[in-house]
Structure 1
Amino acid sequence: MPTPDEKRRTFRKLHESGCFVIPNPWDVGSARYLQHLGFKALATTSLGYAYAAGYADGAVPRDAMLSHIAELASTCDVPLNADFEGGYAHEPQGVADSVSLCVATGVAGLSIEDSTSDKENPLYPFDLALSRIKAARAAIDRSGHDVLLTARTEGFIRGRPDMDETVRRLRAFADAGADCLYAPGIRTREEIATVVTAVAPKPVNILIGWPSDLTVQEIAGLGARRISVGGSLARAAWGGFIRAARQLSDGGCFGGFADAAPAADLNAFFREDRARRGAT
C-alpha cells in the first residue's frame, strides 16, 4: 500500500489537469468496493457515516468522525479526502486544532465549510469564514504534510443561493490558500461555468447528488476538475433498505429483496480483496 505522503502526492497531481470522479463511501466495505471499480480517489461522507452510526447528519462527535476517517484512510490504497464539515469548531483556533488532528489520520485532503448549522444564520460572516480557512491552511502547513485543502461555501444548499456572494467567498478562500474550491448545490451549466471561471486556475469540485442530465464529460468540458456525489450512494443504499423493510413490515411480503446483491458475489469479492491485501 502507498504511504500517506505518496497518496497525497497522487491526489495533488489529480487536481492538475483533467477531471475525475471522487465517490463517497461510508464504511470499509463500500470503500473497498469503490476502489475495486477503479476510482482514482475516494472521499468520506459525513452524512453517510452519520446514518450508519445512528446520528443525524452533522451530529457525529469529532472523535468518532476522526476514528472513522482514520479507518478509511488506512484501508484505502487510493487517496482519501475527508468531508470534515465545519472543522468541529466555530473559532479559527478550534478549526486549526481539529484540522491538525485530521491531518494525523493519514488523509490526502480535507474540506472545511462555512456553514454554521444555524437555520436563521446559515453562513459564518465573511471575515470569520475567511479566518477559518486561513487557520486551516496554517495548521496544514505546520504539519509538514502536503494535505490538499478544499474550501466550501454552502449558500446554495443552506437557503442562500447568491452567486455573487458565492464567488466572493470562493475567490477569498482561494487567495487564503485553499487548493480546491467547492460550492455544493450549484446545478446548471451556467452556474458551474461561472464558478470555474471565477476561481481559475484553482480547481473546482462539483457535487452531483441528484438525478442530473449532465454527464461527467460535460462537467469536465465546463472546466471542473473533480466531481463528488456526497451522501448520495449512502442514501441510495438506504432507499433500497427502507423499501424492502417497509414491504416486509407493512404487507408481509418479500419483493423488496429482488434487487439485492447476490451473497455469493459479495463473498467472492471480499474474499479476493482480503487475499490481495494479505489480510487475515
Structure 2
Amino acid sequence: MTDLVHDFRALHHNRAPGDPLVLPGPWDAASARAFEEAGFPALATPSAGVAASLGYADGAVPAAEMFAAVARIARAVSVPVSADLEGGYGLPPAELVARALESGVVGMNLEDTAHGSAPGTLKDPEAHADWLAEVRAEAGDRLFLNARVDSLLPSLRGTADRSAPELVADALDRARRYAAAGADCVYPIGARPADLPPLRAGLPPTLPLNALARPDGTSVTTLAQAGATRLTFGPALLHTTLTTLRNLAPHLRG
C-alpha cells in the first residue's frame, strides 16, 4: 500500500504543461477494471456515482456501505484508487483515516459542504481547515488528501447575490487555507475554464489543482491550458453509460 500511495502522489507532480493527470471515476468493480484495462494509471471514485450504483441519492449512502463499495473497487484493480468520501460522514479523524486505510484506498476526496445543515451550506473555512489538519496528522503520508472547495457550485445558497469574481476569491481563500492545513491537492468543483487561471496564479505552483471535466463538454486540453493539473469526472461517466443502456433497452424488447 505504501508503494501505491507513493506512486499516486508522484503522478500529480512534475507533469509536462498541458498534460494533466486524468482520473476516471469507477462506480463499481467492473467499471474500475474497464478503466484499468484502458491504461489509466490511477482511479478516483465519485461518491454520486457509487451512490447511484447502490440505489441511493447523492449524499445518502451510509458510511459503512460507501466504505464497502470503495473497498470492492480497490480490490478489483492493481492501480491506486482514491475515494470520494464526501464530508467524512461525521467520523472523528482517527476513525475516518483508519476506515479509509482498511478499504485499501490511497487517497480521500473531502468536501467543505456542511452536511446536515441547510442544503448548499458551506462549512466555516477556518474550522474546516482545522479539521483537515487533524486528518492530515492522523494520516501522515499514508493517504493523499484532495480538498474539495464547493464555493463555485451553482447549488450553493446565496451565490445568486455574489459576483463571479467574489465566488472565485472565496474559493481561492478556502483552497489556500486547506493547502496550508496539509491538503495534497485542491479541487474547486464547478470552476469554469475562465476561473482556473486566477485560482492557479493564487496557489503555490507545485500544488495540484483538480478541475471537473465532462466527457461531452469542455475538453481535457482546454482545462489543462487554463491551469488544471488533475481532472476528474464526477458521476458523468456513469451517466454516459446509463444513457447508452437506456437507448439500447427498447431494442431488446423486440
TM-score tier by shorter-chain length is: 0.7 to 0.9
Give the whole-Å Cα distance in 1 for the aligned partners of 2:237 and 2:79: 19
Does residue 172 of the first structure (1) align with residue 177 of the second (2)? yes
Does residue 129 of the first structure (1) align with residue 128 of the second (2)? yes
Asked whether the equivalents of residues 41 and 78 of structure 1 are also in contact (C-alpha less than 8 Å), the reply is yes
The percentage of counterpart residues that share the same residue type is 32
Give the whole-Å Cα distance in 2 for the aligned partners of 1:234 and 1:97: 30
RMSD of aligned alpha carbons: 2.1
Q: Sort the Cα spacing of 1:120 and 1:41 in 2 relative to 1 into closer, same or farther, 3 A.
A: closer
Asked whether the equivalents of residues 214 and 236 of structure 2 are also in contact (C-alpha less than 8 Å), the reply is yes
Asked whether the equivalents of residues 244 and 256 of structure 1 are also in contact (C-alpha less than 8 Å), the reply is no
| Structure with the greater alpha carbon radius of gyration | 1
- The amino acid across from 1:64 in the alignment is E
Which residues in structure 2 correspond to 1:8-23 (within 5 Å)? 8-18=5-15, 19-23=20-24
Does residue 235 of the first structure (1) align with residue 246 of the second (2)? no
Considering Cα pairs closer than 8 Å and 6+ residues apart, tell me whether 1 or 2 has the greater RCO: 2
Select which of 164, 189, 196 maps to 1:192.
196
Where does structure 1 lack aligned partners over 5 or more consecutive residues?
A: 249-253, 258-280
- The amino acid across from 2:28 in the alignment is D
The two structures have a TM-score, normalised by structure 2, of 0.87
How far residue 156 of structure 1 moved from its aligned partner, in angstroms, is: 1.4
Secondary structure in structure 2 of the residue aligned to 1:82:
strand
Asked whether the equivalents of residues 17 and 225 of structure 1 are also in contact (C-alpha less than 8 Å), the reply is no
Q: Sort the Cα spacing of 1:256 and 1:232 in 2 relative to 1 into closer, same or farther, 3 A.
A: farther
Deviates more, 1:168-177 or 1:45-54: 45-54
- The amino acid across from 1:241 in the alignment is L
How far residue 100 of structure 1 moved from its aligned partner, in angstroms, is: 2.5
Does residue 40 of the first structure (1) align with residue 45 of the second (2)? no
Which residues in structure 2 correspond to 1:109-258 (within 5 Å)? 109-117=107-115, 118-120=117-119, 122-141=121-140, 145-157=141-153, 158-159=155-156, 160=159, 162-188=167-193, 190-201=194-205, 202-209=207-214, 211-212=216-217, 214-245=218-249, 248=250, 254=251
Give the whole-Å Cα distance in 2 for the aligned partners of 1:239 and 1:105: 30
Where does structure 2 lack aligned partners over 5 or more consecutive residues?
A: none
Give the whole-Å Cα distance in 2 for the aligned partners of 1:26 and 1:121: 24
The two structures have a TM-score, normalised by structure 1, of 0.79
Number of residue pairs aligned between Structure 1 and Structure 2: 239
Q: Sort the Cα spacing of 1:121 and 1:47 in 2 relative to 1 into closer, same or farther, 3 A.
A: closer
Q: Sort the Cα spacing of 1:256 and 1:83 in 2 relative to 1 into closer, same or farther, 3 A.
A: farther
